[in-house]
Structure 1
Amino acid sequence: MVTIKVNSLPVDLVIKDLATAFQLPYQLNCREYLVELSENVGEGYIKAMMLESGLGIIEYHCKFKMDVEIQFVKDFTHPLKFLYCTKGSVNHRFSNEDVLHELQEYQQAIVASQDYNGHVISLKKDQEVNLYSLEMDRERFMLYDECSSELIKSDLNDIFGDVLAKKSFYHEGYYSLALAEVFEQINSFDDNYFLRTIFMISSGYQLLGNQIAQYQDDLNNEDNRHILRQYEVSRVREAVQFIHENIERTNTINDICKEVGLTETKLQEGFKILYGSTINNYINDIRLNLASQLLRSTNFNISEIVYKVGLTSRSYFSKIFKEEYQMTPTEYRQMHIKKPSLDN
């Protein structure tokens, strides 16, 4: 294992220390520092940028050829870290503890060390990792002075109010879809470095705002959480696949929730975000699309079609079909019957 000691803040020192340890050059473009891994070290890159008001961000997009342990050292209070693993897995521990916290894909953690103790991040050999680390110098963050009285009264005080790092803090979970969208925007942003700097400052505040909202949502029990996590998106898509494959069955929303392991609140939220629809409206759209195909391309009678789209009432089917197509199923079929060509 290769062990590297790096400074914590400002984040440009992280890049400089990594470059020195691997005997690699680094680049500076506007505020952004970048070190690209050489063939003997691995592949990918690590970049970092100081934003505003004590905020900085480090991006790890890399695969090392050896196990790597990065030890963050500092002679005063370490920054509050918001870690987001979007690919692969990483291990985190506090420098004064042996307990390892593994962050896997879709997971995030809020970490704060006690006193002057640092953080240790471990990356495994031959594993591609994407890790974002939003770093906050709590003492310099500008909102503390203006909002300190409000902060003390809120459930955020354990995270943001401990400016002198009197105790350690660790909170782990799955990051939200809103956070995932910010990471995608950061990864795909391709413009000159002046605009990228402005964009990254904005992204830093977006990450912080969404993270605070998610942390407060995390404090609720699971049945009362409303923010959709990124890993839950795949379950929403599983629900869509289940609906398509079982449209002939009259499944309730509760049946679908049990099938994919989400609460109705989370599933409804997922459909709203991903498809702009409620679950029932989405199911009705699937049924009506299938019904229209069957009316155009088969000789099934109306009762058979009602059964095949998972309904039991012919009158209800006719009602929702007419609302969608402004004609009855029989009129729709007649309109789409192929008429013989005049040339024949």
Structure 2
Amino acid sequence: MENVMNEYQKVPSELNVLHKHLPGTIEVNFDIHTLTVASSYGSGQVRYTSLQNGLQTYDFNLKLNEDLEIPVCSITSDSLQFIYCLDGHCYHQFETFEEVAKIEQFQTAVVHSDSGLSSSIIIKKDHKLVLNMICIDKKQYFDKFGAQDNQFSKKIQSLLVNIESKSKHFHLGNYNLKIAEQLKLLFGVEYSNEVSELLSQKGRYYLILAKHIEQFHAEIENNSNTSGLLKDELKAISQISEYIKENPEIQHSIKTLCLHSGLSPAKLQEGFKFMFERTVSDFVRNVRLEKAEKLIRTTDLTISEIVYSIGLTSRSYFCKIFKRKHLCSPKEYKLKKI
């Protein structure tokens, strides 16, 4: 059940502080607190989710009427911040330092500073910004990995050694569409009930954090681009993948997708391999199967009608690839879901 939270003591202290910078109303839905910005100040929301002790995440989706500077230390202390810009851009600046770093669309950043040195996220007015920030209390969250002997814990310890040797640390990462795809799945996905939605969302945040750590470790160890693709090329891959998802019934080919995206066949395949770990044809096939599964589950269309609606002509071929993915025929799947 969703409730409007008017009493400050019921709201997490971190969100209360942010509320002072962003006037609006706060609502709660299970563990998720949402601050909706007052219309006089702009539009949009900030979603705050506590994943566990020492691990919180903020999702900013804003378009403001005036510039806003958010002191990071006021909403999270003694922490690492893993930042990802899904849309638009913002800036980061350490207190008393003139240098300002721009975080662009699809770009990652890792931030840390000693408790005596604050930093800020700067959001410019009249520009839409969609930003995710995962905040990790170093002592509460990372200490538990110290005694473990596996690759993930070793990467974490390497990360901490690199960061804590400096009073301030700002690492502007490469463009990463894998994180973008995970963040997109946090919004607009249909779930059977609110509990399953919450669990799915929390699990995805952990996956996003793992991708941040993996990329940061690779970049500080190898100082190399993790994708080999330029920002405009990655953006084109993102756009063409959305086009395929919105139009699964079209007979997509490498030639038509290259014309639509402006990419060469080699760049198109490279982008899909990097972003989705699939070839273009595998991606199209999977999109069609996902659309078919949804139609089987939510409509009264016949199997033949569904086959036609997703751009296939052979019912037997559809049944074959559907069974390979779901381990049962479309008809059996539909009976299970009734």
TM bin (shorter chain):
0.5 to 0.7
Q: Is the 8 A contact 2:93 2:101 kept in 1?
A: yes
Q: How does 1:1-344 map to 2 (within 5 A)?
A: 12-73=12-73, 77-141=77-141, 143-147=144-148, 154=154, 156-157=156-157, 159-161=159-161, 167-189=167-189, 191=191, 192-218=193-219, 219-220=221-222, 222=224, 225=226, 232-234=233-235, 240=254, 269=274, 273=278, 275-276=280-281
Q: 1:54 touches 1:140 (CA, 8 Å); kept in 2? A: yes
Indicate how the Cα distance of structure 1 residues 112 and 244 shifts in structure 2: closer, same or farther if over 3 A, else same.
closer
User: Does the Cα contact within 8 Å between 2:272 and 2:280 map onto a contact in 1?
Assistant: no
* Secondary structure in structure 2 of the residue aligned to 1:116: coil
Per the normalisation by structure 2, the TM-score is 0.62
Which stretch shifts more, 52-61 or 185-194?
A: 185-194
CA contact (8 A) 2:92 2:102 kept: yes
Larger radius of gyration: 1
- For 1:273, give the aligned amino acid: R
**Could you tell me how far apart the structure 2 residues matched to 1:230 and 1:111 are?**
22
Q: Counterparts of 2:188 and 2:34 in 1: how far apart (Å)?
A: 17
Moved more, 166-175 or 124-133: 166-175
> Cα–Cα, structure 1 residues 188 and 131, in superposed 2: closer, same or farther, change >3 Å?
same
Q: Is the contact between residue 14 and residue 75 of structure 2 (CA under 8 Å) also seen in structure 1?
A: no
Cα deviation per residue 1:175-210 (whole Å; 9 max; x = unaligned)? 423211210111224555433332232122101111
Write the distance in 1 (CA, Å) between the matches of 2:194 and 2:167. Answer: 38
Distance 1:32 1:165 in 2: 34
Mapped contact 1:69–1:122 kept (Cα < 8 A): yes
Shift of 1:114: 2.5
In the TM superposition, what is the alpha-carbon distance from 1:240 to its structure 2 partner? Answer: 4.7
Question: Residues 277 and 198 of structure 1: is their aligned pair in 2 closer, same or farther, counting only changes over 3 Å?
Answer: closer
TM-score, reference length from structure 1? 0.61
CA distance in 1, matches of 2:187, 2:125: 23
Aligned-CA RMSD value: 3.9
2:280 partner letter = Y
Q: Paired residue for 2:322?
A: none
Q: Flag structure 2 segments of 5+ consecutive residues without an equivalent.
A: 1-10, 242-252, 284-338
8 Å Cα contact 2:229/2:271 also seen in 1: yes
Q: Once the 2 structures are TM-superposed, how far is the Cα of residue 232 of structure 1 from its aligned partner?
A: 3.9
Q: In structure 1, list runs of 5 or more residues that go unmatched.
A: 1-10, 246-254, 279-344
Tell me, in whole angstroms, the C-alpha distance in 2 between the residues paired with 1:125 and 1:234: 23
- CA drift at 1:77: 4.9
Range moving further from structure 2, 69-78 or 52-61: 69-78
Partners of 1:38 and 1:74 in 2: how far apart? 21
Q: Return the alpha-carbon distance in structure 1 between the equivalents of residues 231 and 195 of structure 2.
A: 30
Give the % identical residues: 19
SS in 2 for 1:132: strand
